[in-house]
Structure formats: structure tokens, C-alpha cells
């Protein structure tokens, strides 16, 4: 491969965040050993423990090390049993799920997977000492989870062992999407014996699952080396080793072109240049996600406690210019908070109108005749900062001044949890499980809204929040596909075009690079890379 002029210019101008070849720490391989080399940002990978994060980078690495009870197929996210021998058997009242494990599944330490490990995993997930970031996925669904979280119990009463390979999960109420939740990355099953023996070293020096790859070495935020697990229950994988090294996007692209790595991301702004390069065009891959980028308001504090202001922001954004102009058609303007591919998405919904004069009228009606100034908390990544800069310029046309507070991923995540931490931020939301509940319940039900600083359940919105709770709770009970799609489509319209709780921007997509001699690396539509089926030719 050749080093292109665009990257060389970036290097010489000093925009590279790290030295080109100094960023690499190559792992020497045996002559007949195959190694997949990945260059991505690992600044969030301070710990391998998937329970204590909400970052997709950690999820996709953990997915290679741990397996879940259910899983999603790489191609279309269709649900299938992974550690379970079959789909759970559901009682007539929809409250009890009887689950049978595959027999003979081995953890990386050689111990056998049993129901005790599953129960331990769930108990640890909800234990407040673990400080899990994702308990909201199912804590109000599984009976006894809240009691573990508040310290009044040490074990989840709703999960009971029947025998070594069989257990039951009892729910507080029937929930049509519950089986899908069992495929969520934070519920990867871990070895009780290994975790308890590791103590504080768990996730730092030791991380034992029963996935297709095991940890060989780990340097937090710098590199993780995985080797294939020869005793994997579904057969050992083809590639011997996966080396994932921390690199910013520019460095990774330079290393890719030099032939030092096999996989890296490709910023949307650089994609046209690579697609027009005959030496590299075939290496460019593209994936549309079941995900959405949206502006997320804190409705508990000024100025976004006023629906007129939220509506004005929507009219002040030119989605066609953003997606088809700045992004050159790489992203599709969003017409819904529910993305394409999820029940409840309605392709006939219109994209919100761009009308700066209407935005000014709404601001004047809200008491901001002289314009509006507010601050957005911005996760300091190239893609998100660039998007905010485009939006910042658009909003100025409506006399709306958006100041940007750049935050590292950790501080941004904390602000996202605090009702008073930020006035607005960008939410990038993907399908941990393929159901509209993931978008409408888990972002706005009062039991979880504090996780997302939306202020929906504050005193300003309490009546509407209580009504909305009733709606999404009843939605969880709907099993008829057509009824469910219509219900969630209507509820989404209320949330985004009447209440203006969010301004959907675009349906997410991304480019990435894969070397000529590599097959089987997939950027799945749930925004997670899958490395484990890589084949080095």
C-alpha cells in the first residue's frame, strides 16, 4: 500500500495525536501463526469488565471473550441461542422463562459452565458494589433485581437453579422483548470461580469467559492481545491471534496504508478520497446501523424546560445540508428516533422542516426575542465535534448561539448522568436489543431517565412523564407485531414532534478499512465490530 498525500500532509502539519510508528507495539508471531491486527481508540478500555461501562469499544472486545445466553447473528441481528441449548421456554402467563444451557461448555480456565455461573453473573451485574453502568437494561423486569441494587438482598430472587444446566428467570411482568435482552453484551457470562479468585484484579489482570478468544495480555488503554480458545464449544476459530492497539484515527489510517494493521475506522469526511483512490477503494467497507444520532435536551433546566425552545432548535437545523451536503450522502436524514430495521419505524414519516424564520418566531414567543445562548456537552471525538461544529453554524442563522464544552469520554459520561450537568448533548444510540423499547422506554421511562440527564421526570414535566410511563409500560406487553409497530410509531411521533424531547439528526452509518488478505471482519448493524470470524488469507 502507498501512503497517500492527504495523510502525509496531516502528519507533517502536526495533527497526528501520536507518532506514526511509535504507536505500534508489534507482537511477534510464529511463522505459521495468523494474527489479525486492529488499530482503534482504546481510551475507554481501562478495564476489560463489560459490566462497568457503557462503551461500545469495550462491548465488542468483551463479546470476543465472553458469550451470552442468546446472541445476534452478524449479518442481520437475528436472535439465536448461544450458551442456551434452545430458546427459553416461556410460561403461559409470560412471567417465567425456563432456560437450559448447552452441556460441556468450557471456560478459558478449563472449568465447565453451569447454572451457578449464570446466577453469579446476574447477581454480580446488579450488585451495587460492582457499579454496573447498564443495570437499567433489565433491573425493573427481573424479579428481585431492585432488591439487590438497594442492598436489601444479596441474590436476585427471580433467578433460580433447577439443576446444573437448567435455571428459571421470573419477571415482574410479561415483557415481549425479554429474550432479546439476554443477548446484550453486558450480560456476557463469566466464570464464578475465576472472578472470585481474581478479586480486585478482575478485568485488569484476569478476565475469564467462555468465548472464542481468551486474554493473553492486557495493557489498559493501550493494547489487548487475544488468542483463540482451542476448547471453544463451537469449535476453535481460524485466526490464531487478535492484537488490538490504541491509535487515533489518523495514525491508524497511516498504519493501515503502511501494511502494519489490518482493520481500522475511516472518518466519514475522508471516505470520498479513499473511495476515489484505485489502490484503496476495495478496502473501504460501509455499514448502516440500527442506530440514531440525536440532540438530547435536559428538560429540567433552562432554556429547554420550555417546549417552544426545543421546537425552535428542531426548525433551526438543516438535516439535508448536514447529511447530503457536509456528509456527502453518507448519512440519511432521520425521520424518527426509532431507526430503520426496528419495529415502529415508519418510512413515510417526513424529515423535520428546516425553517429559520419559524425558529425565530418560536424563540420570541418563548421570551427569547434577542436570541438564545446555551452550552452543549460534547464528547471530544473527531466525528462528534465536527457534527456539532456544522450544527453550531446552522443554529446561528436562527440567532441561536451554541457554545461547545469539549469533554473526555469519562467526564462526558458523568455529565450525561446528571440532571444539572448539561443543557444538551448528542446521544448516539444503538440496538443492544432489537426492539423499539430500547429507544422509547430505556431513554425516557422515569425509572431510567436520570441516566440520561433528560429531566423528563422533573417537576416541569411530571404529569407528561407519568402518562408516558403508562404508555411504554403497556407497550412492553404487546406481542402482536402489527399492533406493536403502530403503537410505537405513534408514541415516537408524540415524543419528537409534539413534545420535542429529542431532535433526531441522522440514521448512523460508518466507513471502515479492511486489508486485502482479511475476510470475515464485520462491523455489525448494532455498532459493534466482530473480529472472531476473521480469516487471514
The predicted-structure confidence for 447-504, as pLDDT tens digits, reads as follows 887 778 888 887 778 899 999 999 999 999 998 999 999 999 999 999 999 999 999 9
Name the pLDDT band for 31 (thresholds 50, 70, 90). low
Look up the pTM and report it: 0.85
| Cα separation, 444 vs 468, whole angstroms | 8
Q: Is the pLDDT of residue 14 over 60?
A: no
Longest dimension (CA), the chain: 72
**Grid coordinates of 460:** 416541569
3 state DSSP class of 377: strand
The per-residue pLDDT of the chain, averaged, comes to 91
User: Residue 17: its pLDDT value, please?
Assistant: 38
CA separation for the pair 410, 381 (Å, rounded): 12
Between β-strands 89-90 and 79-81, what pairing exists: parallel, antiparallel or unpaired? Answer: unpaired
Q: What confidence category does residue 413 fall into, taking pLDDT thresholds of 50, 70 and 90? A: confident
Q: What is the pLDDT of residue 458?
A: 79
* 509-515-517 Cα angle (round to 5): 135
Q: Is the pLDDT of residue 508 over 90?
A: no
6 pLDDT higher than 60? no
Among the listed ranges 166-180, 218-232, 291-305, 453-467, which one has the minimum average pLDDT value? Answer: 453-467
Q: Is the bond preceding residue 61 a cis peptide, omega within 30 degrees?
A: no
Position 30 scores a pLDDT of: 54
Asked if 296 and 424 touch (Cβ cutoff 8 Å), the reply is yes
Q: Is pLDDT at 25 greater than 60 in this prediction? A: no
pLDDT of residue 450: 73
Least confident of 454-458, 498-502, 516-520, 530-534: 454-458
Contact status, residue 42 vs residue 222, Cβ threshold 8 Å: yes
Residues recorded for the chain: 537
Classified as helix, coil or strand, 513 is strand
**pLDDT score of 178:** 95
The CA-based angle 499-503-505, given to 5 degrees, is 155
- Does residue 307 carry a pLDDT above 50? yes
pLDDT (tens digit per residue) in 182-206: 999 999 999 999 999 999 999 999 9
> What are the pLDDT digits (tens) for 59-113?
999 999 999 999 999 988 999 999 999 999 999 999 999 999 999 999 999 999 9
- Give the contacts of 465 (CB within 8 A, at least 6 positions apart): 444, 446, 449, 456, 457, 458
Amino acid at each position: 500500500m502507498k501512503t497517500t498525500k492527504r495523510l502525509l500532509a496531516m502528519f507533517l502539519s502536526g495533527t497526528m495525536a501520536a507518532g506514526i510508528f511509535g504507536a505500534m507495539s508489534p507482537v511477534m508471531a510464529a511463522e505459521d501463526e495468523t494474527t489479525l491486527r486492529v488499530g482503534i481508540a482504546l481510551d475507554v478500555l481501562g478495564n476489560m469488565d463489560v459490566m462497568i461501562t457503557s462503551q461500545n469499544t469495550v462491548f465488542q472486545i468483551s463479546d470476543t471473550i465472553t458469550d451470552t445466553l442468546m446472541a445476534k447473528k452478524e449479518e442481520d441481528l437475528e436472535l439465536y441461542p448461544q450458551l442456551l441449548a434452545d430458546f427459553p421456554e416461556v410460561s403461559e402467563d409470560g412471567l417465567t422463562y425456563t432456560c437450559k444451557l448447552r452441556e460441556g461448555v468450557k471456560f478459558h480456565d478449563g472449568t465447565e459452565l453451569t447454572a451457578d455461573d449464570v446466577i453469579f453473573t446476574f447477581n454480580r451485574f446488579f450488585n451495587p458494589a460492582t457499579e454496573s453502568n447498564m443495570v437499567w437494561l433489565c433491573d425493573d423486569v427481573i424479579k428481585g433485581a431492585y432488591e439487590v441494587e438497594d442492598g436489601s438482598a444479596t441474590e436476585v430472587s427471580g433467578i433460580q437453579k433447577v439443576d446444573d444446566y437448567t435455571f428459571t428467570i421470573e419477571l415482574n411482568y410479561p415483557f415481549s422483548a425479554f429474550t432479546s435482552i439476554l443477548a446484550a453484551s453486558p450480560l456476557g457470562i463469566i466464570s464464578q470461580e475465576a472472578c472470585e479468585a481474581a478479586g480486585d484484579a478482575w478485568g485488569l489482570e484476569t478476565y475469564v469467559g467462555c468465548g472464542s478468544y481468551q486474554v493473553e495480555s492486557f495493557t489498559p488503554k493501550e493494547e489487548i492481545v487475544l488468542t483463540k480458545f482451542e476448547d471453544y464449544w463451537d469449535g476453535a476459530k481460524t485466526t490464531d491471534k487478535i492484537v488490538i492497539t490504541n491509535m487515533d484515527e489518523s495514525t491508524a489510517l497511516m498504519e493501515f496504508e503502511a501494511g502494519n494493521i489490518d482493520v481500522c475506522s475511516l472518518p466519514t469526511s475522508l471516505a470520498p478520497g479513499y473511495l476515489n483512490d484505485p489502490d484503496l477503494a476495495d478496502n473501504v467497507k460501509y455499514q448502516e446501523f440500527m442506530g440514531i444520532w440525536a440532540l438530547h435536551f435536559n428538560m429540567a433546566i433552562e432554556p429547554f424546560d420550555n417546549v417552544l425552545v426545543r421546537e425552535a432548535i428542531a426548525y433551526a437545523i438543516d438535516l439535508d445540508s448536514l447529511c447530503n451536503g457536509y456528509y456527502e450522502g453518507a448519512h440519511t436524514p432521520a425521520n424518527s428516533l426509532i431507526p430503520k430495521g426496528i419495529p415502529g419505524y415508519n418510512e413515510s414519516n417526513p424529515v423535520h422542516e428546516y425553517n429559520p424564520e419559524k425558529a425565530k418566531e418560536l424563540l420570541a414567543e418563548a421570551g427569547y426575542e434577542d436570541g438564545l445562548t446555551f452550552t452543549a456537552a460534547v464528547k471530544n471525538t473527531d466525528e462528534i465535534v465536527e457534527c456539532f461544529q456544522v450544527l453550531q453554524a446552522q443554529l446561528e442563522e436562527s440567532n441561536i448561539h451554541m457554545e461547545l464544552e469539549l469533554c473526555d469520554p469519562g467526564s462526558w459520561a458523568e455529565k450525561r448522568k446528571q440532571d444539572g450537568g448539561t443543557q444538551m448533548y448528542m446521544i448516539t444510540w444503538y440496538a443492544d436489543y432489537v426492539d423499539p423499547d430500547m429507544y422509547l422506554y430505556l431513554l425516557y421511562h422515569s425509572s431510567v431517565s436520570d441516566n440520561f440527564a433528560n429531566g423528563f421526570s422533573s417537576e416541569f414535566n411530571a404529569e407528561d412523564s407519568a402518562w408516558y410511563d403508562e404508555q411504554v409500560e403497556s407497550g412492553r406487553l404487546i406481542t402482536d407485531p402489527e399492533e406493536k409497530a403502530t403503537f410505537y410509531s405513534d408514541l415516537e411521533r408524540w415524543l419528537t414532534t409534539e413534545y420535542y424531547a429529542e431532535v433526531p439528526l441522522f440514521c448512523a452509518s460508518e466507513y471502515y478499512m479492511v486489508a486485502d488478505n482479511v475476510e470475515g471482519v464485520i462491523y455489525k448493524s448494532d455498532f459493534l465490530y466482530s473480529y472472531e470470524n476473521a480469516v487471514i488469507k
